[in-house]
Amino acid sequence: MKREFPMLITVIAGLGYLLFYFIPHWPFNLIGEMFQSWVIVISAFAILLGVGSLIKVHGDRISRKTEGWPYSIILLSGVFITAILGIWKGVDVGTPFDYIFRYFYSPMGSTMFSLLAFFIASAAFRAFRAQSREATMLLVAAFFVMLGRVPIGELIWEGFPKIASWLMNFPTTAGQRAIMIGAALGVVSTSIKILIGIDKSYLGGD
Amino acid sequence: MVTNLAIVLPANSDNIGIWIAAFLTLCIYSFLYKDNPFYKFAEYLFVGVSAGYWVARQYHNSLIPNLWNKLVIDHNFLYIIPGLLGIMMLMRLIPGVAWISRWAISFVVGMSAGINIIANLQGNAIAQIRGSIVPLWSGDILTSIYNWVLLIGVVCGLMYFFFSIEHKGFFGGVSRVGIWFLMVSFGASFGYTIMARISLLIGRMQFLLGDWLQVIRM
């Protein structure tokens, strides 16, 4: 019961959606649309589960006074203040939630990602040492794409934008297509394995 | 003394939000020196605010319109089922009854599998294969060569992902050409990633020097 019933739910949900796609008429259209709406609700609860888990982990850290526990208080304050203000006062422009978004969330997010500019520079140095033919190709492609996509590249040599465009339109497109087709076939085969009950890893242990 | 302060403090120094944002930005950049309590403070605060942000967003964008309104305004009581499944998912946090969450997870996994089969076949596999079927002789020599490059790149790249045959001999050569195309592709993506990060860095510098200190005009 602990495993069989969830597997049945998986099959009903997956086949329900597939039937809705291939037979978009009553009653499958209603079932498909209803299932799509349900999955939005359940996915919202999945995010709440993630936040609940975060609260649990940091609540434990505070109660056990493990190393760095004061930072957990800051984290939990951030969670509760933002969530409560957002739920209570709304998320529209001019609300306290919007203030938090503009002066806390957005600057910290941008700064965190911009921090990677410094670390990616050292990664680039390692990658760009061109120790093999493949690394050289990566180096050359990155070099031309970067110089071809900024105004200074065109000022140095007008051929840079043309080479960058050609690299993007042909070899890069070919590589991306190979990855996309390969990944798509992999996802489809995994999905079929889940629906016919071969892959049960999502059910976990016991 | 007051005059000096007026020179040091920018005109919008009363905007506490800008000062907070500048302080948090500097806290995060302090990591460039080494890991320190200011960075840790900003890091934990960012994680907390992000989690709270998504809770409020999900509440207003998903739970109210798709659950509360359907139940209370439309009186569609079938929506008790996703509500119950959602609560079952939260049972994952209680060790003794964590298995109940499988019901909700199974529904999401089943739906995702169904959607993925259609979306990936239609949007990725078939669309990309169709896009790769190009005329190998178009009347123009350059265009024809470029189309050959595209087709060879896709076929060789796909061969590299085919692991049922050992990659040696002719097949090994073909998959090696596939690696070259993949490397060019990764190089271009890497270049774009660097540019995106540098662009964010420029944005933060503009904020610090423009919005906060007002030493540059934008």
Is the CB of A75 inside 8 Å of chain B's CB atoms?
Answer: yes
Q: Write out pLDDT tens, residues A105-151.
A: 999 999 999 998 888 877 777 766 767 888 889 989 999 999 999 99
Is the CB of A88 inside 8 Å of chain B's CB atoms?
Answer: no
Residue carrying the six token digits 């933060």: B204
**Looking at the partner chain, which of A14, A104, A170 has a beta carbon nearest the beta carbon of B113?**
A14
ipTM of the complex: 0.90
Asked if A19 contacts B26 with a C-beta cutoff of 8 angstroms, the reply is no
Query: Residue B201 corresponds to which tokens in the numbers above?
Result: 């860095």
Residue B4: pLDDT over 60: no
Share of chain A above pLDDT 90, in %: 83
- On chain A, the residues whose CB falls within 8 A of the CB of B198 are 117
Residue A2: pLDDT over 90: no
Query: Residue B77 corresponds to which tokens in the numbers above?
Result: 């009581």
Distances (CA, A) of A191 to A23, B36, B99, B117: 20, 45, 22, 6
Angstrom distance (rounded) from CA B127 to CA B130: 5
CA dihedral B205, B206, B212, B216 (to 10 degrees): 120
Task: Indicate which of B23, B38, B107 best probes the interface with A, i.e. most A CBs within 10 Å of its own CB.
Answer: B107
Return the pLDDT at A119. Answer: 85
Indicate the SS3 state at residue B165.
coil
Residue B55: pLDDT over 90: yes
CB contact under 8 A, A38 and B54: no
The predicted model gives B48-54 an average pLDDT of 98
Angstrom distance (rounded) from CA A30 to CA A61: 47
The predicted model gives A14-27 an average pLDDT of 93
CB contact under 8 A, B191 and A141: yes
Return the pLDDT at A130. Answer: 63
Q: Which H, E and C letters describe chain A, residue by residue? A: CCCHHHHHHHHHHHHHHHHHHHCCCCCHHHHHHHHHHHHHHHHHHHHHHHHHHHHHHHHHHHHHCCCCHHHHHHHHHHHHHHHHHHHHHCCCCCCHHHHHHHHHHHHHHHHHHHHHHHHHHHHHHHHCCCCCHHHHHHHHHHHHHHHHCCHHHHHHCCHHHHHHHHHHHCHHHHHHHHHHHHHHHHHHHHHHHHHCCCCCHHHCCC
Angstrom distance (rounded) from CA B194 to CA A149: 12
Return the pLDDT at A128. Answer: 64
Asked if B164 contacts A122 with a C-beta cutoff of 8 angstroms, the reply is no
Angstrom distance (rounded) from CA A134 to CA B162: 19
Residue A206: pLDDT over 90: no
Nearest-Cα distance to chain A for B6, in Å, is 24
CB contact under 8 A, B117 and A191: yes
Question: Hey, where are the domains in chain B?
Answer: 1-74, 76-133, 135-218
Question: Hey, where are the domains in chain A?
Answer: 1-86, 90-118
The predicted model gives A157-177 an average pLDDT of 96
**Looking at the partner chain, which of B90, B158, B197 has a beta carbon nearest the beta carbon of A120?**
B197
Question: Worst-scoring range by mean pLDDT, A129-133, A160-164, B20-24?
Answer: A129-133
Share of chain A above pLDDT 70, in %: 97
Residue B3: pLDDT over 50: no
Helix (H) or strand (E) holding B2: helix B2-8
Label residue B6 by pLDDT band (50, 70, 90): very low
- On chain A, the residues whose CB falls within 8 A of the CB of B160 are 178
The predicted model gives A33-50 an average pLDDT of 95
Label residue A90 by pLDDT band (50, 70, 90): very high
> Quick one: which of A107, A141, A118 has its CA closest to B192?
A141
The predicted model gives A171-190 an average pLDDT of 96
Query: Residue B140 corresponds to which tokens in the numbers above?
Result: 């123009």
Label residue B139 by pLDDT band (50, 70, 90): confident
The predicted model gives B130-140 an average pLDDT of 91
Residue A191: pLDDT over 90: yes
Residue B12: pLDDT over 70: no
Asked if A132 contacts B47 with a C-beta cutoff of 8 angstroms, the reply is no
Distances (CA, A) of B45 to A98, A104, B203: 16, 9, 21
| DSSP line for B12-71 | TTT-HHHHHHHHHHHHHHGGGT---HHHHHHHHHHHHHHHHHHHHHHIIIIIIIIIIIII
